[in-house]
Every structure is written in structure tokens, then in C-alpha cells.
A and B are shown apart, each in its own frame.
Chain A
């Protein structure tokens, strides 16, 4: 029996080893050869990345992955979503397990330099805030001296919180939690006075409560949290592809290109910028090692930035986030895509 089991398992192991591919060459070449994009996402944050009952992933970050897949592989469904925790996300990227990390990760100096990541831009400008129960009578974060605060471990918010309370000479007791689901549980049971995380996450969490009116998000935003997709340091061409896919989505909104009118515009538009973007004139795609219509496909996948925002986290969704900082620069926001030229 021993021998038989042994033989069988060796065979099984070889089978698996066949599945694991030896990855040589550029990320682009690997993705094309594999015909699938490996995209690291959150294990479950409604609005940004979460699997539904059938295992289909949806969300704001997921849409970016799909756009990249559409640009590179021509099919937005050729994405394998790899759920990563706050602990495993950067290692998964540097070990090559994933090609791009779209997991609401904050772009910071040390991550960009010391962790050897390259952030390909910002897809959501966020900031850390606090949520408290209304009946606590707190109206400002400055009144939280001595409070118990729920915080996710392994995030930048942990450091910001320590800095903020120290700078204001206040005390607090952290309650460390592992996932957003757990944070909600603790907060709803009043196991902590305040819940702190990115303001978008707070809004999403609050929106899902049975009694959102009983909870307030304090006005103080204690940090800058530019969230964006990250790639491995060193493969600049791949970084360019992700960066310009994101830029294409942003630019498309600026020029009024939507998933509905894109076919029409690619033929009829006489805006030279739109023509270049959609590959009607000039061969911009070739400079990235892609074909001419890469950006067109990326936009077709889920629509432009505005459409993605509205569909996943916008005011019409249960999450109900306003555009705020994430509006186009023409609307007073920070989104500003460099020119396609």
C-alpha cells in the first residue's frame, strides 16, 4: 500500500509541477504565453474586490485588472484573481505569483523604494478617517483621548494612527483585527469606540449597516492614502502598460469616451487625442509592445474611469461614495491623465 500511495503522489506532484510554469523573460511575454493575467486583489471588500456567490469577482480594483487583461490579451475575462491578505500581498507580487497588485494599497515612499514595488499611478485618492456611533457624542477625532480603536493590522493606517495620537498627545487602546469583516463585527458590538480605516472603506462599511444614520464619519482625515496598482520593480515596460491602461481609462472619461459610444467615436471622432487613444491614427500601441486598439479594448471592458466608479462605488451603489478628490481635474478633482502623444 505504501508503495502504491507513494507512486501515485509522485505522479500527482509531477502533474502539479507541470502546471507551475517556469517564468522566464518579461512579464508581458509571460502573460501572453500564459494567456491569462494574474491579478492580486483583496480577499473581500465589497465595492473594491469581492467574489459573489458564484465566485465571479466584481469591484473597482477588479475592473482595473480586467481592463489590463483586455488591453494585453484582448479578453477581459482572461484574469485569474488571486486573493491576497494584507500580509501576503507584496510578497505575492515580488515572487511573481501575480503580475499586478490591485488591492487598495497605499503608495508610500518606503514601499516604492525599499519594498521594490513600482506604483503605476493612483486609481483612488483616499485618506484615513474615523467612524463612531452618534450616541457617543463625539464630533471630532481630537475628542477620542482614551478611546478604544479598531484597526487592521499590517496596513499603513496602523502607523498613521500611532503618529496622529502621539502628535496630539492623546492615548488610545488599539484592537487589532485581521479583516474588514472582523472590524465590522467588533465595531457593531461596540467592542471599540471608533473604527479607523480609509474613508472609502468606512463609507462602504457604514452603507452596509442596518442603521447607517446612527454612525458618523468624523471630519478629520488624518493621512493621505493614494491607492493604486503596483507592479514589480525593474520591468519598466510592464509598468508602462499598467500605468497607461489606467491613464487611458481616466483620459477616456475626460474626452467623453464611454463604453457605449466608443465604437462610433473610433470611426467618427475628429479629436486627434481621441483618435490616437483609440488607435484610429498613429500606432501608440506598438510603443508598449501591444497592438493599436489596446486602449479601446481596455475602455470597452468596463467603460471609462467614471463608469467604473459609478458602477462599483459611486453614489448610485450601496457604497455611495462621492467623486470628491477623484473627479477629473476639469471638475476640481485630482485625476489628470498625461497626454496621449
Chain B
């Protein structure tokens, strides 16, 4: 083999933009860029012309005008005199409330059903399979409507709790009343109220909440210290000191003290006038939406959990048994850590789906972000372009935050390859 003379770089010719692989991708990208820009410009130009033809403008000033409508469930103080912006914020909080509650419940139920499907109990495993197939193969909207209808049609009106011989009675030691409007649950009250911290914009946090949160965090920190110390003792002496009572004490005692100090107690709801008052009335729109989202998503999570556990090869548990591990430890130390790696990525997308699906609140009149900003506000102001754009961007930001947060978690449980 003789060395070939190095090929001289041929001089650049325009045709190389198409025929030479080195330049072709550049050409292609430039062409696509121009096309995308042109399409974007076309859309924007059309929008501007359409808006002009309708005599409308594009501005978000409406957000600061008076909303004028009431919202049934307001996590932060809100009246009809507040702005559309605040109404949108209330809607966003409502979306978050139902999403977070839904994610928690769906995870618990999903794991339970997923494990039960693998149970050796023939009957129970079959029942769980039926549950999963039924909920996965029918539209979520159907489940929301059905659950909501069950609440309105089967539960009684508050009136049924009235009188000496009421048709229905409150459950959980007279603390909870199920009605077809809301579930009345007790609220927390303090006899020794320390006042609250004003965060501005009429949002306040009670000092008691802050104190208890601080106590809990401090307890967690101390517990970590105790554990570290126990580990150190174990490393040097081989004997691990008993720590559970110390841990328990630092976790609970300060909180219990604070609860006693502030005089925290439950106030049960009582029927007064048309409705229950005193407690917290959780509207059925929220409960039905939450329940339907939970059941529907749990069916998907159950499948994910099942697939994750099945994905861990049988040799792993056999090896663990061979080492003399008990089934519970095998599950905790061998199976779960490996299964989690398979489970978590699809679980993230289920959480995202649940959050997005919560916009079906429209079917039960739950005032979430779509109900306020994309519903009544849009309708009363006629600013569909601005309202929908803002709503989509909010949902997008929410999704990105959830997936970013979960990805961080995922990278922590991921296999550390060496």
C-alpha cells in the first residue's frame, strides 16, 4: 500500500451546498429555519390583521380589572372585587390542590393494586385485573361524570341530617358529614392564637403552622444526628445502641408541646341554616374529580408497578434468599431498589398526565385554572387569545417543573454505574 497524496480541499462551489455532505446539513438547516420563520411570521401577521379587523388589541391589562364573579373554593382570600389575576391564581392553586392530592392517592392505590395483581391469591388477583382493565379502557371523562353523579344522586342533601330522628347521621364520631353538595370535615382551631405572618397580597400564614413546621424539620435533623452517632458507635464497637425511643421523642415531643401550647383542637361542622357551618366544606366537585383521577391513574400506575416488579429477574430474589435474607428485607433491599428504576420514569409521566387531566374539572364545575382564567375570565372579558395563551404557558411551566423535580429524584435512585 502506497500512501496516497492527501486530497487537496477542492475549492468551494455553490453546488456543494447540495451535493457535499459537509455542507448539505447546513443548507438543510438554513432552509428549515427560513421556512419555520416564514410560517411563524405568517401566523403572527394573520393574527395581527385579524385582531385589527375585529378592533381588538393584544394586551394583558384585563388581568388587573375587577373579576366580579365568585369562586366556590378559595385557598387564598378572594372576593368578587378582586382582580382577574387573583382569580387566576386561585384557579392555579385549586389545580395544584387536586393534582397533588390525586398524585398521592393514585400512587398509594396504584402500588397496592399492582402488588395485589401479583398476589398468589387467585380471586384477589383476578379482581384487581378486572379493576385495572375497566378503568384503563374507559374514558376518564366517563369516570368523572359517573363519580360525580354517584355523589349527587346517592348521598343526601344536608337536610337529611336535620331533626331529632335524622335520616342520615354523621360519621367518624360526629365529625364528618357526607352530603350531595360537599363533605363537611372538621377544621383546626386554636384557643391560644399567636397571630399570623402577613406575606402581602392578603396571604397570611399562621405562626402556629410555622412553629410546627420548624419543630418537625428540627426533629428530622436531630434524628439524622442520632443515627449518625449510632452508626459511629456501631463502627467502633460493633454494637448498635437502641435509638428508636430517642428518635421518636425528638420527632413528636416538640410538636405535641406546640399543639398543647397553642391549644389546637378540632371544630366539628354543625348544621345551621341551609348548610353545615363551622367545619370545612370540601365541595363534591373536588372530591369527585379527585376520586375519579385517582382511580383512573391508579389503574395505570398499577400496571407500571407490576411491570417494574416483574422486570427484576427471579435470580435476584433467589440469590437474596440464598444469602439468608427474610422476604421483607429481600423486598426492601433487593427487589424494590431495582424495580424503582424501571418504575419511576413512567410514573413521572403519569403524574404529568394527572395534572393535565385535572383540567377536566370543567365537567364538574370545579374552578381550576381552566375554570377561572380559561373559563369565566375568558368569557366575561372576551380576551380569548391572551387568556388561552397564558393558561397554556402556565400548564407548560407546571409540567416542566414537575418533570424537572422528578428527574432530579430519578437521577438519585438511578443505578450508579462505576
Interface residues of A (CB under 8 A from B): 86-87, 90-91, 94, 111, 114-116, 144-148, 153-155, 158-159, 161-163, 166, 172-178, 182, 185-186, 189-193, 233-234
Most buried by A among B152, B363, B375: B152
* Alpha-carbon separation in the docked complex, A164 to B152 (Å): 27
- Kindly state whether residue B227 has any CB partner on chain A within 8 Å: no
Q: A162-B70, A175-B72, A176-B371 are in contact. Are A191 and B157 (CB under 8 A)?
A: yes
Find out whether the CB atom of B152 lies under 8 angstroms from the CB atom of A116: no
Which of B72, B274, B362 lies in contact with A146, CB distance below 8 A? B274
Find out whether the CB atom of B157 lies under 8 angstroms from the CB atom of A178: no
Q: A174-B70, A191-B152 are in contact. Are A148 and B80 (CB under 8 A)?
A: no
Interface size of B in residues (CB-CB distance below 8 Å)? 41
Find out whether the CB atom of A153 lies under 8 angstroms from the CB atom of B159: no
- Kindly state whether residue B131 has any CB partner on chain A within 8 Å: no
Could you give 10 example pairs across A and B, Cβ below 8 Å?
A: A87-B378, A114-B381, A145-B273, A162-B70, A163-B68, A174-B70, A176-B365, A176-B366, A177-B365, A191-B180
Extra contacts, 12 of them, besides A147-B273, A190-B157 (Cβ < 8 A), are A115-B382, A116-B56, A148-B181, A154-B375, A163-B68, A172-B70, A173-B181, A176-B365, A186-B152, A189-B157, A190-B180, A233-B55
Find out whether the CB atom of A189 lies under 8 angstroms from the CB atom of B153: yes
Q: A190-B157, A191-B284 are in contact. Are A162 and B152 (CB under 8 A)?
A: no
Find out whether the CB atom of B72 lies under 8 angstroms from the CB atom of A173: yes
- Kindly state whether residue B384 has any CB partner on chain A within 8 Å: yes
| B112: min CB distance to chain A, Å | 31
* Alpha-carbon separation in the docked complex, A163 to B66 (Å): 12
- Kindly state whether residue B168 has any CB partner on chain A within 8 Å: no
* Alpha-carbon separation in the docked complex, A103 to B393 (Å): 32
- Mark out the residues of chain B between 228 and 278 whose CB falls within 8 Å of any chain A CB in the assembled complex: 272-275, 277
* Alpha-carbon separation in the docked complex, A115 to B379 (Å): 10
User: Which A residues touch B281, using CB under 8 A?
Assistant: 173
User: Which B residues touch A186, using CB under 8 A?
Assistant: 152
Find out whether the CB atom of B181 lies under 8 angstroms from the CB atom of A191: yes
- Kindly state whether residue B69 has any CB partner on chain A within 8 Å: yes
* Alpha-carbon separation in the docked complex, A146 to B277 (Å): 9
User: Which A residues touch B70, using CB under 8 A?
Assistant: 158, 161-162, 172, 174
- Kindly state whether residue B203 has any CB partner on chain A within 8 Å: no
- Kindly state whether residue B54 has any CB partner on chain A within 8 Å: yes
Query: Using an 8 Å CB-CB cutoff, how does the interface string of B15-56 with A read, 1 for contact, 0 for none?
Result: 000000000000000000000000000000000000001111
Q: A162-B70, A175-B181 are in contact. Are A153 and B371 (CB under 8 A)?
A: yes
Find out whether the CB atom of B69 lies under 8 angstroms from the CB atom of A159: yes
Find the A residue at minimum CB distance from B274.
A147
Find out whether the CB atom of A192 lies under 8 angstroms from the CB atom of B181: yes
* Alpha-carbon separation in the docked complex, A186 to B381 (Å): 28
- Kindly state whether residue B101 has any CB partner on chain A within 8 Å: no
Find out whether the CB atom of B380 lies under 8 angstroms from the CB atom of A159: yes
Find out whether the CB atom of A146 lies under 8 angstroms from the CB atom of B152: no
- Kindly state whether residue B358 has any CB partner on chain A within 8 Å: no
Find out whether the CB atom of A154 lies under 8 angstroms from the CB atom of B382: no
* Alpha-carbon separation in the docked complex, A173 to B179 (Å): 14
- Kindly state whether residue B107 has any CB partner on chain A within 8 Å: no
Most buried by A among B366, B382, B384: B382
- Kindly state whether residue B335 has any CB partner on chain A within 8 Å: no
User: Which B residues touch A153, using CB under 8 A?
Assistant: 365, 371, 375-376, 379
Which of B272, B275, B284, B363 lies in contact with A147, CB distance below 8 A? B275
Which of A87, A162, A233 lies in contact with B69, CB distance below 8 A? A162
Find out whether the CB atom of A178 lies under 8 angstroms from the CB atom of B180: no
Interface residues of B (CB under 8 A from A): 53-56, 68-72, 80, 149, 152-153, 156-157, 159, 180-181, 272-275, 277, 281, 283-285, 362-363, 365-367, 371, 375-376, 378-382, 384
User: Which B residues touch A233, using CB under 8 A?
Assistant: 54-55
Find out whether the CB atom of B375 lies under 8 angstroms from the CB atom of A87: yes
Find out whether the CB atom of A193 lies under 8 angstroms from the CB atom of B274: yes
Find the B residue at minimum CB distance from A161.
B70
Find the A residue at minimum CB distance from B156.
A190
* Alpha-carbon separation in the docked complex, A186 to B285 (Å): 11
* Alpha-carbon separation in the docked complex, A163 to B79 (Å): 11
Find out whether the CB atom of A158 lies under 8 angstroms from the CB atom of B376: yes
Find out whether the CB atom of B149 lies under 8 angstroms from the CB atom of A185: yes
Find out whether the CB atom of A174 lies under 8 angstroms from the CB atom of B363: no
Find out whether the CB atom of B275 lies under 8 angstroms from the CB atom of A148: yes
Find the A residue at minimum CB distance from B277.
A146
User: Which A residues touch B284, using CB under 8 A?
Assistant: 191
| B77: min CB distance to chain A, Å | 14
* Alpha-carbon separation in the docked complex, A172 to B273 (Å): 11
| B57: min CB distance to chain A, Å | 11
7 smallest A-B Cβ distances: which pairs? A176-B365, A190-B157, A154-B379, A115-B382, A162-B80, A146-B273, A189-B152
* Alpha-carbon separation in the docked complex, A114 to B380 (Å): 10
* Alpha-carbon separation in the docked complex, A163 to B284 (Å): 25
Find the A residue at minimum CB distance from B375.
A153
Which of B54, B72, B275 lies in contact with A174, CB distance below 8 A? B72
Which of A86, A174, A185 lies in contact with B379, CB distance below 8 A? A86
* Alpha-carbon separation in the docked complex, A175 to B179 (Å): 14
* Alpha-carbon separation in the docked complex, A86 to B378 (Å): 11
Which of A114, A158, A178, A234 lies in contact with B362, CB distance below 8 A? A178
Find out whether the CB atom of B72 lies under 8 angstroms from the CB atom of A166: no
User: Which A residues touch B382, using CB under 8 A?
Assistant: 90, 111, 114-116
Find out whether the CB atom of A175 lies under 8 angstroms from the CB atom of B365: yes
| B279: min CB distance to chain A, Å | 14
User: Which B residues touch A234, using CB under 8 A?
Assistant: 53, 55
User: Which B residues touch A159, using CB under 8 A?
Assistant: 68-69, 380
* Alpha-carbon separation in the docked complex, A163 to B384 (Å): 24
* Alpha-carbon separation in the docked complex, A164 to B376 (Å): 18
Q: A87-B379, A94-B54, A146-B273 are in contact. Are A189 and B180 (CB under 8 A)?
A: yes
Find out whether the CB atom of B285 lies under 8 angstroms from the CB atom of A176: yes
* Alpha-carbon separation in the docked complex, A33 to B180 (Å): 53
* Alpha-carbon separation in the docked complex, A111 to B157 (Å): 38
* Alpha-carbon separation in the docked complex, A173 to B149 (Å): 19
User: Which B residues touch A148, using CB under 8 A?
Assistant: 181, 274-275
* Alpha-carbon separation in the docked complex, A270 to B81 (Å): 59
* Alpha-carbon separation in the docked complex, A111 to B68 (Å): 15
User: Which A residues touch B71, using CB under 8 A?
Assistant: 174
Find out whether the CB atom of A166 lies under 8 angstroms from the CB atom of B80: yes
* Alpha-carbon separation in the docked complex, A176 to B70 (Å): 10
| B31: min CB distance to chain A, Å | 20
Most buried by B among A94, A163, A185, A234: A94
User: Which A residues touch B149, using CB under 8 A?
Assistant: 185
* Alpha-carbon separation in the docked complex, A172 to B275 (Å): 10
Most buried by B among A94, A190, A192: A190
